[in-house]
Amino acid sequence: MTEREFETKLAELDRLLNDPEIRMDPHRVWALLAELSTKARLTGPPGMGTAAA
């Protein structure tokens, strides 16, 4: 996942959780969290480069 894809998914998650105009979709929230956590676990937080193994 590229940095841009990560940021896009993070923005979508933020909208799902915080925008009162958008209907909550728990399945999508959990799917986004799974994708984002996998990326963070493999590479560290955005902008931090590759995590030490």
> What is the chain's pLDDT, residue by residue, as a tens digit (53 residues)?
788 999 999 999 999 999 999 998 999 999 999 999 987 766 765 555 554 44
User: Cα torsion at 7, 12, 18, 24 (round to 10°)?
Assistant: -150
Per this entry, what is the length of the chain?
A: 53
52 assigned to some structural domain: no
pTM confidence score? 0.71
Number of domains composing the chain? 1
Query: Which residues neighbour 46 within 8 Å (Cβ) at sequence distance 6 or greater?
Result: 3, 6, 7, 40
Tokens of 10: 């993070």
**Structural domain span for residue 27:** 3-43
Residue-level pLDDT at 13: 95
11 assigned to some structural domain: yes
Residue-level pLDDT at 53: 41
Residue-level pLDDT at 38: 85
